[in-house]
A and B are shown apart, each in its own frame.
Chain A
Amino acid sequence: MKYAYYPGCSSHSTARDMHESAAAVARALGIELVEIDGWSCCGATAAHQTDRVLAASLPASNLLLAKQMGLDTVVTCAACYSRMKAANHEVSTSPDMHKKVADTVGRPYDGSVAVRHLVEVLLEDVGIEKLRKSFVQSLGGLKVASYYGCLLVRPHNVTNFDDAENPTSLDRLVEAMGGHSVDWPCKVDCCGGGLNLTRTDMVVKLSGSIIDMAAAAGADCIAVACPMCQASLDLRQSDMHKKSGRRYQMPILYVTQLLGLCLGISPKELGFNRLMVPAFSVLHSLSAKGSL
């Protein structure tokens, strides 16, 4: 299993733990991630809010680099995933956009490079059975709320990720790890991430209600697959406390951090020391495989 790997800008900044845990898990499972040489920013929210051609051209230039490698592109950031899938959609469904992007990038791009989230690779290419066999530890019945947010599942005709209203990819991984995936209603709600710096009040409101719902459903932690969701839910708990006076202590973990623990990788290597809300409770619930 060999893929072109697009780490995305956050992997060197706010989401180093996402990058570290993804790389460690891939290594442990024999997934070869070859970083795209010279990759650049996908443009994220700022580009698509500013100019449609710019928004499609920045991902397209990266996908052209991946095309030369002849490999599927694997992404760990849900925002990069969304922008790359959107670019593929734009150039392959609109001849006008195809032309404009070709003029902007300097080479034509046909939208043919497959873009996949690491979670899809884990479920579809590695498979639950192989994962189960590779685990050396169990989550020991830890109650996990799987949170997908917006960018993986919407718009569904563009991303094609799982189900738009009730995805179960992360839940299946949690169950395979010996965790208990809680039933809760906020799986695909928005954390407000796009307004993190500009309208922090909205992020505190939206992310606060997501954490409240996870806590009400009995979750010990929330599993995510998006660095913007992780930042909103983890970093903003201190602001939620300031606003409501209630204490928030909900660990927000990348699903790859949980997978890494079950694969026997050390918490430090998985970036646990970088979390704002510590995850001691998660580490304490780990048990030897098969002891459940």
Chain B
Amino acid sequence: MTIKIGKAKPGTGLKPVVEEMSGVNLNLCYQCRKCSAGCPVAGVAESAPSEVIRRLHLGAGNELLESKLVWMCLSCETCYGRCPMQINFAAVIDALRSLSIARGTRAPRGNMPLFNRMFLENVRIFGRSYDLSMIAGYKLGSGKLMDDAEKFPSMLMKGKMAILPPSGADKKAVRRIFGRAGKKGAKTR
């Protein structure tokens, strides 16, 4: 595919902030594309890891946050595992995700940011993941109410979905962590 890159305004490129957030030196990449060859979603995501790195080199700004790969990445870390320069591309993607939330980028198909928010909000409240409440919140927010509805009864019967919220965690300690970590997980949208 053809990548169109507009003339970057000086100082708007994401590269320095991504490098700072991820602790990764992107200048080490020499575009061997091993990362892209092993990526299980590159084909469907219409952009590959090496391409995202190249766009960062070339001064890409907020438009990069709209790349499908940002939220389709599975964090499988095959890219990092195989990179001859040991570039942690999974950490680069995590930085792009944080930036995408902070800068209010349009929600991707499947709305992973909503899922993450629901997951972390339940952890903040209960100290542990409460799947039933998390899934209900995600379904209400995403409108995907009927997805997997047919699986629900058998999961309940087989004890694979707890009805009552989890108990036993040191909730105070967890709330302190969320409070101090900037409430990013619970409050950002």
Contacts and interface: CB of A to CB of B under 8 A. Distances in A.
Interface of A: 9-10, 12-16, 38-41, 43-54, 57-58, 61, 65, 94, 103-106, 150, 153-157, 164-165, 188-190, 192-195, 197-200, 202, 205-206, 235, 238, 273-276
B160 A54 contact: no
15 contacts: A14-B155, A16-B159, A16-B160, A38-B169, A39-B168, A40-B170, A57-B181, A104-B177, A105-B180, A154-B78, A155-B77, A195-B72, A195-B112, A274-B158, A276-B158
Contacts of B145: none
B154 interface: yes
B41 to A, nearest CB: 7
Contacts of B47: none
A57 B175 CA distance: 12
A46 B116 contact: yes
Interface string B49-93: 000000000000000000000001011111011000010101000
Nearest to B45: A202
Contacts of B116: 45-46, 49-50
Contacts of A50: 97-98, 101, 116, 120, 184-185, 188
Interface in B136-189: 138, 147-148, 150-151, 154-155, 158-162, 166, 168-171, 173-174, 176-178, 180-182, 184-185, 188
A101 B44 CA distance: 36
Contact of A45 (B44, B75, B148, B150): B75
Contacts of A197: 115, 135, 138, 147-148
Nearest to B71: A198
Contact of B75 (A13, A48, A51, A54): A48
Contacts of A49: 75, 94, 97-98, 112, 116
A47 B188 CA distance: 13
Contacts of A45: 75, 116
B127 interface: yes
Contacts of B154: 276
Contact of A150 (B78, B101, B123, B184): B78
Contacts of A14: 131, 155, 160-161
Nearest to B147: A200
Nearest to A209: B40
A57 B88 CA distance: 20
Contacts of B76: 150, 154, 190, 194
A207 to B, nearest CB: 11
Contacts of A156: 81
A239 B75 CA distance: 23
Contact of A41 (B115, B127, B159, B160): B127
A206 B119 CA distance: 23
B129 A155 contact: no
Contact of A155 (B88, B115, B120, B173): B88
Nearest to A193: B74
A46 B111 CA distance: 12
A213 to B, nearest CB: 13
Contacts of A15: 160
A16 B101 CA distance: 33
